[in-house]
Amino acid sequence: MKPFRFFTRYWAAFGGVLFVGLAFFVGIWGSQLPAMQRYMVLFFMALLFHQFEEYVFPGGFPAAANKGLFGEKENLNVYPLNELSAVTVNVFCAYPLYIVGIFCYQWIWYDIFIAYFTMAQVLMHCFKMNSSLKSWYCPGCFSALFVMLPLGIYFLVQLAATETFPSYCWWAPICAFPVVALLTILLPIISFRRKDTPYAFAKHQDDEFEVRHGIASLFRKEK
């Protein structure tokens, strides 16, 4: 398997390793970082944890997304989301978005945007996808609800209590959100969607989705 092809398949596992490395870094040297920068590192770690849940353990997000978000019924491991668009969205787009926050933590409006962007995962995973799949769990739901949302709320509360900044820092990120989501999420997926793409997800992603969706649907009341 060529290096890029290998990376497109296992990038989320590499992200898990990066998460562990950052955990040690924050645990040992985190107190030496400015508070705002430390928060931005934690948001990046939350992203890595979230992606690990989606694509590695328990995995199955590709099939869940293609069915729950895009309504695909047949090509769940390839259309419209495939490995190429997934690595583009999650690594080449999302990583820089969060890393900029780490190094430019003095930009309060950007820090607030990262908090909004992170917490918005709850809307997609815990509401939109679960509603579409008629389930109470989809890959990424746990980390969105119990890691990303609490972290974002805590950060915003602490920020409001300890920092003074212009009011536009609250509403400008909301205005920017749909534009950034379009450019970093929808555009790559639309650009790389092909039913005959060579970047199909591994079969286990489809299998894991079926297992998880089946378990999550045990208590569903059929109409």
Q: With a cut of 90, say whether residue 117 has pLDDT above it.
A: yes
- Coil, strand or helix: which one is 222? coil
At 119, is the pLDDT very low, low, confident or very high (cuts 50, 70, 90)? very high
Q: How far is CA 85 from CA 2, 58, 156, in A?
A: 18, 20, 31
Q: Could you tell me which of 155, 149, 143 has the C-alpha nearest to residue 37?
A: 155
Does residue 198 have a cis peptide bond before it, meaning omega lies within 30 degrees of 0? no
Whether the Cβ atoms of residue 147 and residue 49 lie closer than 8 Å to each other: yes
Q: Which are the contacts of 17, defined by CB distance < 8 A and separation ≥ 6?
A: none
What is the predicted pLDDT for the residue at 210?
86
pLDDT tens, residue by residue, 5-64: 999 999 999 999 999 999 999 999 999 999 999 999 999 999 999 999 999 999 999 999
pTM for this entry? 0.94
Q: With a cut of 70, say whether residue 223 has pLDDT above it.
A: no
- Coil, strand or helix: which one is 94? helix
Q: Determine the Cα angle at 77 with ends 72 and 83, to 5°.
A: 115
End-to-end CA distance of the chain: give it in Å, rounded.
46
What is the predicted pLDDT for the residue at 11?
98
At 123, is the pLDDT very low, low, confident or very high (cuts 50, 70, 90)? very high
- Coil, strand or helix: which one is 163? coil
What is the predicted pLDDT for the residue at 221?
54
pLDDT tens, residue by residue, 139-163: 999 999 999 999 999 999 999 999 8
Average pLDDT over residues 74-102: 97
Q: With a cut of 70, say whether residue 109 has pLDDT above it.
A: yes
